[in-house]
Amino acid sequence: MKFFPVCMLLLLCNSSLAADRYRIDPEHTATRFSYLHWGLSQQQGKFEKHSGWLELDTAAQRGTVELQIEVSSVRTGTALFDKTLLSSAFFDAERYPQILFRSTAMQFDGEQLKQVDGVLRIRDTEKPVSLKITHFHCRWMLLYLRQACGANGETTIKRSGFGMGRYAPFVSDEMALSFDIEAIRE
């Protein structure tokens, strides 16, 4: 009879220590980039296909995230430029079909996620990056009948650091990246 209460206590302890696992919602996730075009104007593009996961324990203020971005889903509004970006001069999508972000640390201020540090892989190059989180929220979603979390983050990289420095400085080497991510608890 003493066995049952001990088992229940162990289950409760284990469940409170485990992070919740979420699946990236590709319908509500976007990655955008912007750059200065020949000194004239800020131009933007986006990637439309994403996958990945999030493990999050807000009580312990820790978690991990992995986001895969399909390079072939790049869209700039100009088919010829999309084709150029997919070529070996830039993303080389045939050899490197995915961009990968994998977190190494999450920084919280109270319950608010403020920064996600990680490694960004573009082509065959990995670089450390820090994403400043501008919005973060988790809630029960009636639409999914599950908990969901969302975040918006931003960072800046240099294209040349990833082997894509062509046309710099006429097209800015510095590129702003923004991430809008929603994930649904599994």
Is beta strand 112-122 parallel, antiparallel or unpaired with respect to 125-141?
A: antiparallel
pLDDT, residue 17, reads 54
Distance CA 31, CA 35 (A): 14
Phi and psi based region of residue 78 (left: phi greater than 0; alpha: psi -120 to 50; beta: remaining): beta
- Helix spans in 63-146 (H): 79-86
pLDDT, residue 167, reads 86
pLDDT, residue 106, reads 97
pLDDT, residue 39, reads 87
> 114 and 140 in contact (C-beta within 8 Å)?
no
Tell me the domains of the chain and their CATH numbers. Answer: 21-185 (2.40.128.110)
Give the pair of three-digit tokens for residue 94: 């045939």
Q: Which long-range contacts (CB under 8 A, 24 or more apart) does 117-120 make?
A: 118/65, 120/157
pLDDT in tens, the chain (186 residues): 555 444 444 444 444 457 999 999 999 999 999 999 988 999 999 999 999 999 999 899 999 999 999 999 999 999 999 999 999 999 999 999 999 999 999 999 988 999 999 999 999 999 999 999 999 999 999 989 999 999 999 999 999 999 999 988 888 999 999 999 999 999
Is beta strand 62-70 parallel, antiparallel or unpaired with respect to 20-24?
A: unpaired
